[in-house]
Structure 1
Amino acid sequence: MRQLLLVQQLLQSKAPPTAPSGRAMLSELSPSPTCLWEAPAATVLAGDDPGDLPGPWRLMLLGDGSPTRHLRLLTGHPVSVELVAMAEEPEGQAALGCPSEVKELTPPLLRRQVWLSCGEQTLAWAESWWNQDEANQHLQDRNLPIWLSLTQGRSELFREVDGLALVQEPWLEDRFGCSGPFWSRHYRFFRQGRELTVIREVFSPALEEWLGTTPRQPLH
């Protein structure tokens, strides 16, 4: 009961944000994007040649650096986090469209969904899964990127990229302002060998302005 009250207080700490256009943001969790193609997990974990993916996109999608830091360095603008939803994951729902690694987290789970923008451009969408106690500890400021939330105490983290995929959803097309599919990846954070969270990110093709063009089709 105590941890549910903490989650409710966290959710109620601020009014639901709105998009730059003024339209209301979603107050409930959206279904995870539909996966059209996914790279073999063994290939991603081994860091094998991802085929036709250009070098800068390889670093963004398969590198173990902070994506929010990369976005700031690329654009010269700080990354703003626009919260879409943060709610308890219903029992049994974690298996629907989410990375298989989510099953390794200890329930009850919390899921958080955000848009990431630099200046006027929305460059990514992200969702993350947490044990509720971990969320209470690490997500005190809902507007901070997860990387900053986890490293405020300067404790060492390990990031493992587990998946690379092409995904599609009409609401992604609407916000990014272009047709899909879109490149996506998911990874985990570990601290002292313990899994903290599973994170999925979907990137806007607008990043081609800095990273160069990339095919949005299955890699061979």
Structure 2
Amino acid sequence: MLSGEGPRQLPGAWRLMLLGDGSPTRHLRLLTGEPVAVDLIAMEPEASLPAEAPAEVAELQAPLLRRQVWLTCGGLPLAWAESWWNQAEADLHLQDRNLPIWKSLTQGRSELFREVDGLALVQADWLEHTFGHRGPFWSRHYRFFRGGTALTVIREVFSPQLETWLGPTLRQELQQSS
């Protein structure tokens, strides 16, 4: 993903959203003109990693914490996100659990590096129910680094509602061809 390579059929605006190193919460705010609300679903110790967790989570030092949120604008759920943290790093950086991670990590104007590690189309009934759209849904996962050390691994799944602002993605056609 570092090269910016991804599905060539993916329109430019979606390539920027999914493969760019900008803040998705900031992008959602700019696209919708609405503030982004972080609705915390869960934030709990993670004793064992689920099989579907990104491989990069294994690079984080245990004990781990897993945080799951909905990102909404004007009451509309536009993304679901989960992140994995070393417990001490989470305690240090996530003092206000309802702030977007980007805001929490950049307080004090600290430098961060984001590396997009994976892009996927995912299908889940619970996402269809909350987004109010049929899947598949675009998903990406990435890491934040500070000083060469991975701070967190984040996975985001985006609502097709974003096609209102970014244009169609051909997600169903791409899934059928893979």
Contact 1:95-1:103 within 8 A present in 2 as well: no
3-state SS, counterpart of residue 126 of structure 1: strand
| Deviation for aligned residue 1:134 | 0.3
How far apart, CA to CA, are the structure 2 residues paired with 1:145 and 1:120?
A: 16
| Deviation for aligned residue 1:95 | 4.9
3-state SS, counterpart of residue 10 of structure 2: coil
Q: Match for 1:153 among 108, 111, 115?
A: 108
RMSD: 1.2
Q: Match for 1:109 among 49, 53, 64?
A: 64
Change (3 A) 1:49 1:136: closer
Is 2:21 the partner of 1:64? yes
Indicate the residue corresponding to 1:37 in structure 2.
Answer: none
Indicate the residue corresponding to 2:141 in structure 1.
Answer: 186
Larger Rg: 1
How far apart, CA to CA, are the structure 1 residues paired with 2:138 and 2:56?
A: 19
Is 2:153 the partner of 1:198? yes
% identical aligned pairs? 72
User: Could you state the TM-score of these two structures normalised by the residue count of structure 2?
Assistant: 0.95
Contact 2:70-2:81 within 8 A present in 1 as well: yes
User: Could you state the TM-score of these two structures normalised by the residue count of structure 1?
Assistant: 0.77
For structure 2, which runs of at least 5 residues remain unmatched after alignment?
Answer: none
How far apart, CA to CA, are the structure 1 residues paired with 2:50 and 2:87?
A: 17
How far apart, CA to CA, are the structure 2 residues paired with 1:80 and 1:139?
A: 16
Indicate the residue corresponding to 1:100 in structure 2.
Answer: 55
How far apart, CA to CA, are the structure 2 residues paired with 1:192 and 1:126?
A: 24
How far apart, CA to CA, are the structure 2 residues paired with 1:104 and 1:98?
A: 12
Contact 2:6-2:15 within 8 A present in 1 as well: no
Report the number of matched residues: 175
Cα deviation, 1:151-208, whole Å, max 9, x if unaligned, reads 0111100000000001111110000001111000000000011110000000000000
Cα deviation, 1:69-98, whole Å, max 9, x if unaligned, reads 0000000001000000010001xx315100
Indicate the residue corresponding to 1:171 in structure 2.
Answer: 126
